[in-house]
A and B are shown apart, each in its own frame.
Chain A
């Protein structure tokens, strides 16, 4: 394992250990996500056909809203521990900090989706299991894109006074391609992909993920500069 990977793994280990000790953040996120899914269900009412058609979009809105809560906490524990910038005092590439935090967000969101997908299937009456493989790919790519840019903006806003407001303001516009492609691919797969549109959405999602990842990793050291 390279020094960069070892240091990123150390940050992931520390964050997961802290999270499992408190569980406050994850429990609150899970409750919020369930609330969002229920609210959509109540708002649309008993029209099962409409709920089924909108299920992909509603699910991704729930993931984005709940994930934003998680992103806001990404660097806050560093601030409580004395400051994110103190991590820069350790020798080695500071990109390890970004990669470790990104991995932590991926783990939290994956754990969240393990609960959200079945919950949405029950509430909205859709059969995710029939397209489990393709939907798993969409979830992986969508979650990766969301986490890549979210982790970056979380670092960028951590020292700002109005960070709770600024994080979603910066994040949501940048997420438009990720959400569009994730929702498009999810809905296409749920409908059996009769027009073969899913592949196009997946290509867009994968391309955007790669571009975002390269750019965010490249410029992350500047974010930690004072």
Chain B
């Protein structure tokens, strides 16, 4: 099987607290995996490890063919991590935030491309409004627009449905379908079981930093 993510015995400790205790995870390319669990069970920590943001205390992680920490730069070019709080600059408009993201990703995006990405998540009317005037849901949609700027092979979504209205949730589902059809692997960490599992090929439940028996 062609796997986008392979994690074996991944452990991560913050001071004296263990966030992950020997987690095993396999995410095939073109598959959607729902990562479920209560608060503090290690979902976000696991996504941060896979995204290359965080190094595990112990264990092995292979992402898109690279055994971490090798190939981090290559992974970042082919993968994306949508964090729960988003990543937007208050004083910049929607278009300017996307232009910054495109430039940082080494992509050249025209004004039309950027406005098109915003229109695709129903933010076309707010494209030239500074983000400080936006609602939390609009910021979450901006994150979705940011992910549309480049082709991806691995998409990590941390609580992607939070703060979104019904249409916004629909946009996330539509994006997940699109990524899967394009052959990308998608991992969704969420408390919203129905939404997280709607397209899931596999469900993994974390309990106390471990994968619960029978869910992987």
**Residues of A that sit less than 8 Å from B by CB:** 3, 6-7, 9-11, 13-14, 17-18, 21-22, 77, 80-83, 85-93, 225-226
Contacts and interface: CB of A to CB of B under 8 A. Distances in A.
A7 B77 CA distance: 14
B179 interface: no
Given A14-B100, A226-B54, A91 B105 contact: yes
7 contacts: A21-B92, A81-B87, A85-B53, A86-B83, A89-B53, A92-B76, A92-B104
A83 B73 CA distance: 19
Interface of A is mostly: helix
Contact of A81 (B55, B89, B130): B89
A18 B93 CA distance: 10
A6 B106 contact: yes
Given A6-B103, A90-B104, A226 B91 contact: no
Contact of B76 (A82, A85, A91): A91
Nearest to B77: A91
Given A6-B103, A90-B104, A82 B96 contact: no
B88 interface: yes
Given A6-B106, A90-B104, A81 B90 contact: yes
A91 B106 contact: yes
B85 interface: yes
B53 A88 contact: yes
Contacts of B74: 91
Nearest to A226: B54
B187 to A, nearest CB: 15
A86 B53 CA distance: 8
A82 B142 CA distance: 13
A13 B104 CA distance: 11
Contact of B89 (A9, A77, A225): A77
Cβ-closest 9 pairs across A and B: A10-B103, A91-B77, A82-B87, A90-B104, A91-B76, A21-B91, A18-B91, A86-B87, A14-B100
Given A6-B106, A7-B104, A226-B54, A91 B91 contact: no
Contact of B100 (A3, A10, A80): A10
Given A7-B103, A21-B130, A89 B81 contact: yes
| Residue among A22, A81, A86 with the highest chain B CB neighbour number at 10 A | A81
Given A10-B104, A14-B100, A82-B87, A91 B73 contact: yes
Given A7-B103, A7-B106, 5 more contacts: A21-B92, A85-B53, A89-B51, A90-B105, A91-B73
Interface residues of B, number: 29
Given A89-B76, A226-B55, A18 B89 contact: yes
B86 interface: yes
Nearest to A86: B87
Contacts of B105: 90-91
A81 B106 CA distance: 20
B214 to A, nearest CB: 32
B91 A225 contact: no
A64 B133 CA distance: 35
A166 to B, nearest CB: 19
A83 B72 CA distance: 19
Contacts of A11: 104
Interface in B65-85: 73-74, 76-77, 80-81, 83, 85
B85 A82 contact: yes
Contacts of A85: 53
Contacts of B81: 89
Contacts of A21: 91-92, 130
B89 A14 contact: yes
B168 to A, nearest CB: 18
A61 to B, nearest CB: 31
A92 B106 contact: yes
Contacts of A13: 100, 103
Nearest to A93: B73
